[in-house]
Structure 1
Amino acid sequence: MNAAVRAVVRTALHQGAVVYAIYEGYQGMVDGGERIRPQFWDDVGSILHRGGTIIGTARCAAFRERAGRLRAAHNLLQHGIDRLVIIGGDGSLSGADTFRREWPGLVAELVQNGQIDEQTACQHPALMIAGLVGSIDNDMVGTDMTIGADSALYRITEAIDAIASTAASHQRSFVVEVMGRHCGYLALMSAIAGGADYVLIPENPPPNGWEEQMCGLLRNGRAAGRRDSIVVVAEGAQDRAGNPISCDYVRQVLEERLGEDARVTILGHVQRGGTPSSFDRWMSTLLGHAAVQEVLSATPESEPQLIGIRCNRIQRVPLMQCVEQTRAVAQKIAEQEYSTAMELRGGSFTEMFEVFRAIAEASPSVTTPSQPRRLAIIHAGGLAPGMNSAVRAAVRFGLDRGHTLLGVRGSFEGLLAGRIEELTWGDVEGWAGLGGCELGTNRHIPGIEELYAVARAIETHRIEGLLIIGGWMAYKAAYQLHSERDRYPAFKIPMICLPATIDNNLPGSELSVGADSALNAIVTALDRVKQSAMAAKRCFVVETMGRYCGYLALMSGLAGGAERVYLHEEGVTLKDLQAEVERMVKAFHAGRRLYLTIRNERANPQYTTDFMCALFEEEGRGLFDVRRSVLGHFQQGGNPSPYDRILGTRLAAHCINFLSGQLASGSADGAFIGLVEGKVTLFPLGRMSEMVDWIHFRPKEQWWLELRPVVRAMAQSTLQDREN
């Protein structure tokens, strides 16, 4: 929420508006006085990393009554306020719409009571509103994600990771309850990200006799060598008859039917707290920026809009339409119309539920066909967090399809050396949240002279389908194998590339597995850098990875609150640096204590990070210190984020489906896969050449470049902005 507040304040100031913050929600609006305060540029500085909301929130019984809304209208008009950005759930947003509809009558009553004059009433004939959804439940129709949901998913996944360690040590079962009311998003996604065995969500209750089904799956997992069992339960979970399913009941079932120790963990409000994720920061910044544009351009006739995000783009949808459709989901659950409830949640929600079920049920009990097809998994390119999650999903999904899965250790060098082994259900146990790359990877790809050996290795190990997971080198290798099919018949097998690179520089996918984890690592580092810098006047120049792709630099600048971001896509000139020095000096003279600059590692070959630091130090003439921070391989380390685990799982399932379909039809096409505008999309390998800039190792089209104006609006304050 703080990122949204910051974006609203700074965008409004940038647009020349006067901005007020209403403290303690609608209660502050009803109370007035000191709870409605003007905001300036620096009032929202250094809040991106803080959980909760600096302006507070509260439930307000008085606002539910007309008398309370009358007082609220009077308090707003005392400050000349007739445009509101509301950040809250469906109750807060529907309350705002009621307030908007009553506004003309409230204003007329205030005139009649002598509390305002006619001139004031004429100046503010209507209330214009825009809504942002602040809810960890991610239950609002009209937006892919709500503010706070990704951070809550982080808390839950971290807890499940920790619980799994304890459970495995003691060979114990755990039942974990998560929030979500009528929405199973947190439960389902945390079960996928955490590698849980079973999940119970309100939208799709388990079938009759689910207790034995659940215990059967857990038995199979233990038989395959798993030392722990985890069941995730949404707080609104129920059976097909509408009876609540409690964690204690699940625990009792596990103890009685499996004869083992089971424990319950209710995460509670820990899910709401903590530092926000990088995604929540940059998404909320985009939403706040768009909300200001919406209310400033609105007219009395405008229908209020919910500002959401769809496929990484801002989306405006009629506010009350979204509220009504959201409440319809809960109604369908109450009426036990579960198929309709799942449809209302959207296609990706249903897809991920089916993916989880297939992976959970892909136990050793799957019947192997008489002639299973042999699919190999290989990595290539740099390390990306989430690679293990993708391999785990591919193996389990492939087993569910009856295939034999082969793991190639050590990338293409391992293929040439014959380091290939069959992967079983138990071999990938615990890989869902594991950082690094268990199969190994490197940047070496076969040269022309090695293609014959690669072909022989494929034939020797009877590889019938190939899943290549990795970055630019992986895609280049796949394109090369596909191009040489006429010379080497062994390459005439179905093959597919799954994007996994922190650089996020691959064609056919707006986000790669690993990029979100890297971005979180960068933002964590930036938080610490900024804390260290607040003790003295200091400029930091932080260098991020990405090669010639500026995704990490730009998005970390947006999420970390940088004053300036340098990208190879934009270039760097001496004139740019001169202007930056002038802004920097003015800012420090005006009282600034920190100035954060982020530079993509290949933004310019001459104006390096060291050069920039030396230039800023010299021109600062003792006014401030300059420090450099090259984050390096820190960005590739750590456990993958929940998003990367889920993305890797989702894409791997589609890859196995593609290979299965090709083998069933007798085809041998090559493809690369990715998310494009929220949909999993396949592209023929032959199209790769037309979609990439081979010189700079990046796609010709990069969606995130459209966000550059938002970065500038958040960072470049003028003296007028600061004193408006």
Structure 2
Amino acid sequence: MTSGGDAQGMNAAVRAIVRAGIHKGAEVFAIREGWQGAIEGGDHIVHLGWSDVSGILNKGGTVIGTARSTEFRTPEGQLKAVENLIARGIDRLIVIGGDGSLTGSRALLLRWPDYVAQLLEQGRISREQAERHPRLFIAGLVGSIDNDMVGTDMTIGTDSAMHRITEAIDAISSTAESHRRTFIVEVMGRRCGYLALMTAIAGGADYTFLPESPPREGWEDRMVEVLGRGRAAGRRDSIIVVAEGAADREGEPITSQRIQQVMKDRTGEEARITILGHVQRGGTPSAYDRWMATACGVEAVDQVLSAKADAEPVLVGVKRDQVCAQPLLKAVEDTTKVADFIASGDYEDAVKARGAGFTRMIDIYRILIESTPTVATSEHAKRIAIMHAGALAPGMNQLARVAVRAGLDRGYHMMAVQGGVPGLVAGEMREVLWSDVEGMANTGGATFGTRRYVPTEGDLYQMARSLEENEIDALLVMGGHHAYATVDIMERERRRYPAFNIPIALLPASIDNNLPAWPMAVGSDTALNTVVDVIDMVRMSASASKRAFVVETMGRGCGFLPLVGGLAAGAEKAYTPEGGITLEELTQDVAALVDSFASGRSFYLTVMGEETSEFYTSDVVAKLFEAEGRGTYSVRQAVIGHMQQGGTPSPFDRINATRLAFMAIANLDSQLSEGRKDYVAAASDEPELMAPLRRVLAGMDWDVQRPREQWWTALRPVFDQLSRRPGQE
């Protein structure tokens, strides 16, 4: 069932649960309209088959309906729900909802034996039914755009909501800049400021208000001062993001109207208000919400079907993009503590309870909203250079923007290498100031330039000379495979070239997501969303005819885009470089394709990576599929190409870039202060997110240009389960 408020991605979870359950040999039912449907029974509890969940992956909301039920809070309502569930033979339940729905579900689990005994005594169920269903097993998935559940990094719907909000902020910024106006954007979040905080960072907003971190007394003057400094520094617009549950330290709500009145009283400006409301919960789910909800749905099925008699209900979520399960009670209790901290005025603990990542992002945000560095850079301050390297990735500009501002805020001179590694070889470098990176948060491309280039033996001397002539004390390199290869060479040549004996930090930025130690390289989420968007349009183009599509993605030797993109888009087949293609496999796939159309299908989707096979290219596969169809269907090829590298970076990539750049500068600052000269690279398993370069590169398979271990390959069994019904070859 889906219960409480709706969230984008719920349909992906429903689809995954139905199909995974069928694969496990279980009967799967949908309880329509949440717990209210369980109470009413009858047509509200319906059996679902494989095809019943076809075509719902890209739909927002929930096709089985949701509702908030006051009747379920009463013993009489719960008793009716138990009776109706037992009548259908249901004692294993997967609930997709918020903390209220999950808390209520757990309460029912605890009272289930008493209700069974009561129903038996009243003659409403038979003794056989009572013996067959002595207890209830529950797995919970959090469907909430607020991301307000402790215990999972992201809740279903949050990423999609951030897409809606960020798109709105980007659009509002354009008109605000044209008219030199201030806009106040109100977003959802009664008790959680995640959406407000993260979208303020992703959208480059000037100020934000969060429930967990109320402003101190005098916030009105502080806000006006910050906005005024921004205007004085050349900004033409001001964007304020406020969570609907924001309040001051006396508990008085800080509403959009209150902020508007403050601006009018202190500046005379009539700020415009935009309340996004339910737009945030609507629309097509993002790629992340599709694949994450799908993977969690499959795990939830495993949890309820394998649960032992004394099993506690579990919450299924994600940690560092890995699906995980934990006790539901603890997650709910930890979440409730946040509200308790806020109510008691313990705001520091409220922020800490959200996790270290939330705390860190608040600190980063406070730096980014300033119009100038908080410290003055002296003439003799040390210099940190930043450089892109390798292929373009969306989010590179946000990496540069945050790195420049974080470095300036620590008192360093910040230098930008123009044009990547060739620019370093040629000595093309310039100093960049706070205002030089204004407005770069939401732009694609790489303003400072980048190139796919690995230095040759002859280039190393010139690179060293450029670093010496520009008096560079530390270097931050951001990019893909070419960036990692370049820094690897520089470390190996440190003895020959003393100029390389400086602190160097390396950050992953690649749509291929083929770099070790970091689960999602900057740019990979944007590329994934492009793949899914294109497939959605391809699917619609084929709605009027029987047609198969072979979609080719980028990715080089890494299958992240075709596999995860195919999973998020509902593909029937995904070919990856890791698995390759054999003639035997193609023969089986052609048979499955022909059988699908013969069985009434009108669309069939295959996704493959650009370097999956030297011989069986997407063109060859498309022609083979069509030849074997003998006119019963048509086949089209779609090569997505460089669209995957372009476009506006997704909120995920902007936030990812923000965190990485800030922590890299913090590491370089620490090294320069302590006199160390280490080479480090991003590593998600480190508290400070940076690890020795050698340890990170030990996880790289240079021959195939991808990590030795790739977390997303665990999604292959999930893909295979959901793409073909049981018994289909």
Q: State TM-score, norm by structure 2.
A: 0.96
State the shift of 1:680 in Å: 5.0
Cα contact 1:51–1:274 (8 A) shared by 2: yes
Q: Structure 2: how far apart are the matches of 1:681 and 1:22? A: 43
Q: Residue 711 in 1 paired to residue 725 in 2?
A: no
Q: Is contact 2:682-2:690 (8 Å) kept?
A: yes
Q: Alignment partner for residue 28 of structure 1, among 11, 21, 37?
A: 37
The answer for the alignment partner of 1:313 in structure 2 is 322
Q: How does 1:16-95 map to 2 (within 5 A)?
A: 16-95=25-104
Separation (CA, whole Å) in 1 of partners of 2:569 and 2:362: 33
CA contact (8 A) 2:478 2:509 kept: yes
Instruction: Give RMSD over aligned pairs.
Output: 1.6
Q: Does the Cα contact within 8 Å between 2:592 and 2:728 map onto a contact in 1?
A: no
Instruction: Specify the code of the residue in structure 2 equivalent to 1:631.
Output: I
Contact 1:499 1:674 in 2 (8 A): no
Q: Is the 8 A contact 1:374 1:462 kept in 2?
A: yes
Tell me how far apart the structure 2 counterparts of residues 2 and 705 of structure 1 sit (CA, whole Å): 23
1:127 equivalenced with 2:136 (yes/no):
yes
- Which position in structure 1 is the counterpart of 2:120? 111
2-structure distance, mates of 1:101, 1:593: 47
Kindly provide the amino acid, as one letter, of the partner of residue 578 in structure 1: T
Pick from 659, 663, 681 the counterpart of residue 689 of structure 2.
681
Q: Which deviations, in whole Å up to 9, do the C-alpha atoms of 1:362-389 show, x marking residues without a partner? A: 6156322352211111111111000001
Match of 1:481 in 2: 490
Q: Shift in Å at residue 441 of structure 1?
A: 1.0
Task: Look up the match of 1:136.
Answer: 145
Runs (5+) with no aligned partner, structure 1? none
Distance 1:674 1:388, change over 3 A: farther
User: 2:337 is aligned with what amino acid?
Assistant: A
Question: Residue by residue, what CA displacement relative to the aligned partner does 1:124-168 show, whole Å, maximum 9, x if unpaired?
Answer: 111111111111110011111111011111111111111111111
Name the SS for the 1:341 alignment partner: helix
One-letter amino acid of the counterpart of residue 499, structure 1: P
Q: Is the 8 A contact 1:282 1:555 kept in 2?
A: yes
Match for 1:45: what amino acid? S
Structure 1 residue 688, shift from structure 2 partner: 5.1
Q: After superposition, where does 1:264-663 map in structure 2 within 5 Å?
A: 264-361=273-370, 363-364=372-373, 366-663=375-672
Superposition deviation, residue 669 in structure 1: 1.5
State how far apart, in whole Å, the 2-side matches of 1:690 and 1:700 are. 9
Q: Distance in 1 between matches of 2:335 and 2:681?
A: 35
Distance 2:109 2:541 in 1: 45
User: Quick one: which amino acid aligns to residue 223 of structure 1?
Assistant: A
- Contact map agreement 2:28 2:49 (CA 8 A) in 1: yes
Of residues 369-378 and 186-195 in structure 1, the stretch that sits farther from structure 2 once superposed is 369-378
Cα 1:104–1:689 change in 2 (3 A) is closer
Q: In terms of mean alpha carbon deviation, does 445-454 or 11-20 score higher?
A: 445-454
Name the counterpart of 1:233. 242
**How far 1:704 moved relative to its partner?**
1.1
Matching residue within 187, 190, 194 for 1:178: 187
Contact 2:226-2:371 within 8 A present in 1 as well: no
Supply the AA of the counterpart residue of 1:376. A
Q: Does 1:222 pair with 2:231?
A: yes
> Number of residues paired by the alignment?
720
1:2 aligns with 2:20: no
Contact 1:383 1:441 in 2 (8 A): yes
Which stretches in structure 2 are left out of the alignment for 5+ residues?
1-9
Work out whether residues 511 and 675 of structure 1, in 8 Å CA contact, stay in contact via their aligned partners in 2. no
Identical pairs, percent: 53
Contact 1:479/1:688, CA 8 A, preserved across alignment: no
Letter in 2 for 1:186: L
Q: Which moved more, 1:400-409 or 1:104-113?
A: 104-113
Against the structure 1 CA distance between its residues 687 and 105, is the aligned structure 2 distance closer, same or farther, given a 3 Å change threshold? closer
The one-letter code matched in structure 1 to 2:280 is: Q
Instruction: Render the CA deviation track for 1:298-347: whole Å, top value 9, x for unaligned.
Output: 23321111111111122212112211221111111011011111111111
- Cα distance between partner residues in 2 of 1:52 and 1:533: 24
Q: Is 1:102 aligned to residue 122 of structure 2?
A: no
Query: After the TM superposition, which parts of structure 1 deviate over 4 Å for at least 4 consecutive aligned residues?
Result: none
Residue type of the alignment partner of 2:161: A
Mapped partners of 2:515, 2:728: distance in 1: 42
Q: Secondary structure at the match of 1:675?
A: coil
Check whether the contact 1:415–1:454 (CA below 8 A) recurs between aligned residues.
Answer: yes
1:212 aligns with 2:221: yes
Letter in 1 for 2:51: D
Q: How far apart are the structure 2 equivalents of 1:688 and 1:654? A: 16
Contact 2:415 2:430 in 1 (8 A): yes
